[in-house]
Amino acid sequence: MSATRDEAVPDDGTDARPSAPAGRPRRSRAAGFVGFLGELLITAGLVLALFVVYSLWWTNVVADRAADQQGDRVREHWAQQPQRGPGALDTKDGIGFLHVPAMKNGEVLVKKGTSTDILNDGVAGYYTDPVKSALPQDAKGNFTLAAHRDGHGAKFHNIDKLRKGDPIVFESKDSWYVYRVFAILPQTSKYDIDVLDQVPAKAGVKKPGRYITLTTCTPVYTSKYRYIVWGRLERVDPVNARRTLPAELR
């Protein structure tokens, strides 16, 4: 009589099933490591994505908010001191506003200095070193400015949209300074301070005048080089009681 299924399986506490091949535990450990590595890479990717969002979006939100608040204080200060003449450029909260239609960046508050502490607030700053900037009201000189191209307001992000002949307008308490772009240098060393000269020879200038220089990082999303735009003062319009915009900004 043949054995039943129950009789074929010994009941002595041992397992009659064939044991796993010796190599299987190693494959299980390898699979576990691959899974852990995959999870680690996914986490790293999420962290990197969050950092990019923070750098390129959230810092813009924070900087624009800070710039708007500072700009409001400047205009309030102007309204409280209606007199004109010397002192119209206030360097405490800001000296005025830059308007560059081709960059489509609205008005940009201009403050003294180009350190990251200043530029990170979503403003443009005029150089105090390594070459001291002239100011718009000076009889001669180069009004030299810097701003971020990406993150922290990115006020000069579209600097590459500027073309020769485009207007650059600086608004002070009592004057509109209208400049015209006449030279562009798409790339130069970050250490090239000659572009800030009061007589900017690299722009083809050979004699003193009243110039403006915009500087920022390039290529986009890097700070390896600098992008330079030069303008020459075309005219100065007085600000009227209604602060009517010059024709270039209408």
Contacts made by residues 91-97, CB under 8 angstroms, sequence distance 24+: 94/70, 94/123, 95/126, 95/135, 95/172, 96/136, 96/170, 96/171, 96/172, 96/173, 97/71, 97/170, 97/171
56-82+91-249 has which CATH code? Answer: 2.40.260.10
Q: Of 63, 196, 212, 217, which is the active-site residue?
A: 217
- Quick: pLDDT tens for 161-189: 999 999 999 999 999 999 999 999 999 99
Task: Decide which of 93 and 225 is more confident.
Answer: 225
Q: Domain map of the chain by residue range?
A: 56-82+91-249
- Quick: pLDDT tens for 95-154: 999 999 999 999 999 999 999 999 999 999 999 999 999 999 999 999 999 999 999 999
Average pLDDT score over the chain: 85
**Which pLDDT band holds residue 8 (cuts at 50, 70, 90)?**
very low
Measuring CA to CA, how many Å separate 28 from each of 22, 43, 171, 179, 243?
11, 23, 70, 71, 75
**Is 69 assigned a catalytic role?**
no
